[in-house]
Structure 1
Amino acid sequence: MGILPTALPVFIQDLAELGIIIIMFAIGFEENTASFITGIKRSWGIALFGAVVPFGVGYLFADWFWGQHNISLFVALAMTATAVSLTMVSLKSEGLSKTPAATGIMTSAVLDDIASLALVAILVPIAVGTATVSITGIFTILGKAIVFFALVTIMGAWLFPARVGRAAKIPFLRKLHLSRVLAMGQGQYTVLSLLLIAVVVGLIAHEFGFHPAVGAYMAGLIVRREYFDFHQEQGRDHYQHSREIIDNAAFSWIGPIFFVSLGTKLMFELDIFISVLFESVTLFIALFIGQVLSAGLAARWTGGFDWPSSWLIGFGMLGRAELAFVVMDIAYVQNHILNQEAFYTLMLVAFLLNVSVPLTISAWKKRYAKIQKTVT
């Protein structure tokens, strides 16, 4: 529209990168690690089939439209991960956020996000040519991914909770457990410490050749609520207080800069919109049907959910938000893997899928509530 420049200043671009790091940390920070681990056994099938089918649909249709392997690969990646926050807001607005179906959606979505992040970490270096497409090159990338995720796991299992377990026997680690760090200054620096952790782990991910958002998400995922049980005499819930501030930073004042920066790459040219209308509508319909059927049937047959809950899970897995835009940013803005038509198509499809989430959940709620009441 000509309101913003297409080439933003370097400062704004760097601030946008910081914004997506905080966004991904906030999403990981929202997850309850214990509930996530407990729900894996029931939700693995939803995560697997609910991701494989959209990935396959995205790849096949992109290959049909543009016939380029790298484009098809990143279209499939962008359309794989579910928007956790969007779905939960929709479920909460309908009074369904505490149902077993909501737990199944959340666990499956997190598993999909982790798998998608791992694929992004592995495939981006290969697609942009910084890693060779050979047995050695592939094993190098896989080795880096394994080492990085193992390092994050060690941080979550040993370093962060160092006041208990084996790490408590090591004097140095015993004094550096995360709860002690977060409690510094009567809790005044809790949020600053959390954001520092997000950036540091993001930088570690960058050193391994991955996008910093990968590290930030994992950092948020391994921060537990029990690390905030300090300074009880203040009468403040430091965990909830920190979440509110980080969510505010992520979704209200720093994070949106990332979306504005990404939005400046999207030129509103009518001829381009018209040229990708067929691809957008076709891909949307295919993904809608594939996502609902794959997640819904998997919920029924691998998760043991009843049919009303299974279809609710299918509708709840439709959203595409933060991670999809991260993939678009990496593939279109940073590395020029996607062409303009593919980028427009992904933006329109993501928009249509996101609109479908509250509409389908709201429409299904009456049927869901009626069946649940009859069963009860």
Structure 2
Amino acid sequence: MLIFELTIILVATKLAGDLAVRFGQPSVLGKLLVGLLLGPSVLGWIESTDILNEISQIGVILLMFLAGLETDLDEFKRSGKAGALVGLGGIVLPLGLGYLSGAVIGLNHLESLFLGLLLSATSVSITVQSLREMGRLNSREGTTLMSAAVIDDVLVVILLAFLLSFAGGDISLPLLIGKKVGFFLLAILVGWKVVPYLMNKFAPLRVTEAVITMALAICFLFSWFAELTGVAAIIGAYIAGVAISQTKQKEEVMHKTETIAYSIFVPVFFTSVGVITDLQAIGSNWWIALFLSIVAVLTKWVGSGFGAKLAGFSNRSSLAIGAGMVSRGEVALIIAASGLSSGLLNSSLFAVIVVVVLVTTVVTPLLLKLSFPK
């Protein structure tokens, strides 16, 4: 069954991507929509299974690893201040209006705060793919988006720890912050000193594909360590990519990783976003899904865009940066799952959140296409 499902996914995503490009849209939009078509909401040909979810997770890790490989480190350093303003803008407005939205739909104070925090999350994996297709990933706007996403991820997870502790969770805030600080310090140190040494040592080995094997091992190790310390795995993969981008094996690793990623893992990731969405599960809560989707899109677009404007970007670039922060992706789904287990989110609202995540993911490529400077 798995082999047949993979066959359908691989063929369907390539055809849908090509069709989207013919209509002047990013190919990622077609890939996302075909997942919704193949999933339980329409045809029901593909079901969400553990093994497909694991393949999808590898896909998003490789996508962020490639983004790291393409990052201009000097430009990334220069965009630190802008990234901080964009990241903060993308938290303050969604958190505030998300809290008010929770009150509107009848949630209590803690549940409303959790909803606001959930809407503050950002996942730029879809943005990365769209910017790569547009050839703008390494632009000033692109590097600002990447630095903002890292800042957003760290702040949202720390705020989540605060909230869960108030809700009766057994999270030690000093321990959580210490783990995150420890991750970034160790990841940067290893990326700076150890990664180049390992890549140079593996390059001369007389076995097939030694370089790409070591590169992927480093990518997965950084991702695992990130998850272990409570940071999103995609952040670990991104830092690993940045580290390897400073070695002389960069071009070889990038070329071969693209072949591996885009042949199987990334198509499964795009499809899985639509497959996990069952529109029939929403029922009478459709108006909540519509309302929260509008709030989710506008708060990130405006909040992060305002931060970009404060950092000195033009109106058009600010709109583009705000658009790039709209997608909530797997980060919001992880937070939603923690809310479900801690009682801050009920099952019906969880189904609504999944749809909101899908909406933000689908509209992101469209908003980028419309707002990015020509």
Report if TM-score (shorter chain) is over 0.5. yes
Q: Is structure 2 residue 335 aligned with structure 1 residue 355?
A: no
Pick from 320, 333, 347: which aligns with 2:328?
A: 320
The change in CA–CA distance for 1:87 and 1:66 in structure 2 (over 3 A counts) is: same
Q: Cα deviations across residues 118-158 of structure 1 (Å, max 9, x unaligned)?
A: 656x46974896625xxxx2222222322233222221233
Where do 1:207-218 residues align within 5 Å? Answer: 207-208=228-229, 210=230, 213=233, 216-217=236-237
Q: Deviations over 1:185-233 (max 9, x none)?
A: 466133332333344344445554x377267435535432232438xxx
| Match of residue 310 from structure 1 | 318
Check if 1:139 corresponds to 2:174.
yes
Aligned to 1:342: 349
Q: Map 1:113-262; keep pairs closer than 5 Å.
A: 113-116=153-156, 122=161, 126=165, 131-132=170-171, 137-162=172-197, 177-181=198-202, 184-185=205-206, 188-205=209-226, 207-208=228-229, 210=230, 213=233, 216-217=236-237, 220-229=240-249, 237-253=252-268, 255=269
* Cα offsets for 1:287-331 (capped at 9, x unmatched): 333223222222222x11122222232233322323233434554
2:96 to 49, 56, 81: 56
Output the aligned Cα RMSD.
3.9
Structure 1 Cα separation of the partners of residues 271 and 204 of structure 2:
30
Aligned mate of 1:282, from 260, 267, 291:
291
Structure 2 unaligned runs (5+)? Answer: 1-39
The whole-number CA distance in structure 1 between the counterparts of 2:332 and 2:236 is 16
1:14-65 Cα deviation digits (max 9, x unpaired): 6734642552353144121603223213332112112322233334423543
The one-letter code matched in structure 2 to 1:316 is G
Contact 2:120–2:156 at 8 Å: present in 1 too? Answer: yes
Counterpart contact for 1:318–1:353, Cα < 8 Å: yes
Percent identity for Structure 1 against Structure 2: 21
Alpha-carbon distance between aligned partners in 2 of 1:125 and 1:156, rounded to the nearest angstrom: 32
Query: Matches of 1:128 and 1:179 in 2, distance apart?
Result: 49
TM-score (norm 1): 0.70
Q: Over residues 338-368 of structure 1, what are the superposed CA-to-partner deviations in whole Å (9 max), with x where a residue is unaligned?
A: 3222222212222332333333344446xx5
Return the offset for 1:280: 1.8
SS in 1 for 2:182: helix
Separation of aligned partners in 2, 1:207 and 1:116: 17
The number of aligned residues is 330
Unaligned runs of 5+ in 1: 163-176, 231-235, 370-376
Q: Deviations over 1:230-266 (max 9, x none)?
A: 8xxxxx733322243245453135x469658x82xx5
Measure, in 1, the Cα distance between the counterparts of 2:243 and 2:352.
36
Measure how far apart 1:281 and its partner are.
2.0
**Corresponding residue number in structure 1 for 2:60:** 23
Distance 1:151 1:109 in 2: 19
